[in-house]
Amino acid sequence: MSICEGRGFRAAARSVTRVVVAVLAAAAVAACAPPKKKADSTLDGVPSVQAKPVAVAIEKPKAPDWRPYFKDVSRGAIRVDLTARRLTYWEPGGETARTFTIAVPRDRSLQRTGRTRIVRRRVGPDWRPTPSMLKRNPKLPSYVPPGPRNPLGEYALYLGWRYYAIHGTNNQRSVGRRATSGCFRLRSDDIEWLFSNASVGTPVLVQGKVSGPRHALPEPKPAETAALSSTPKASVR
């Protein structure tokens, strides 16, 4: 080995030694350093307070009381308020209820009040005019099969009173108005829901009287849908 080669080797060895020593020294310093403190959660010397989530109970609207109107709601119950143009359905047990806007008879000569019950249910009902309808309008068709032109809509709940039913409609704009020949007419979505819940034997109470304008009354606010109207309460018979 030449003198120059020997000198270069020794210089490289010294450089490697210095790097190793520096790395070991840095590791020793890091190991001996005190642990870092967590960020001070104070503001101007006042400790910050962690806000805890608070559970807020949202109270559901209470179902209207069925007891002034029915002795028993084990099979559910329906109350029709002609004055307010509303139908309230209590589910079996009476813990929950749902109120719908309805079309009511055009005038008082067509209305009927009192107690009855659902005696028949039908999907896709057909329609025939009653004798009084034909007397008022002889040009009415004698029969309308199930379908989009049927005035009963897609579902019908027939009552114990002849010619009377709770049903849908092929004219959604008529709901909320004085528009029927005696029946109680609901929007398509509403009658579908009611049909799927009300059964044969469900008691029905019709109260009030047809009054007010022929056009639709204002829709109830969501918080009011569970409240009964101011129609005088009937004694349970």
Length of the chain: 237
Measured at the CA of 165, the angle between CA 66 and CA 215, to 5 degrees, comes to 85
Please say if 167 is a catalytic residue. Answer: yes
Whether 160 and 115 have beta carbons less than 8 Å apart is answered as no
Element at 9 (helix H, strand E):
helix 3-32
Which of 4, 32, 167, 215 is flagged as catalytic?
A: 167
β-strands 46-47, 203-207 pairing: unpaired
Residue with tokens 């034909």: 134
4 classed as catalytic? no
Instruction: Name the active-site residue from 4, 32, 183, 215.
Output: 183
- CA-based max dimension of the chain: 134
Q: Which residues are catalytic?
A: 167, 183
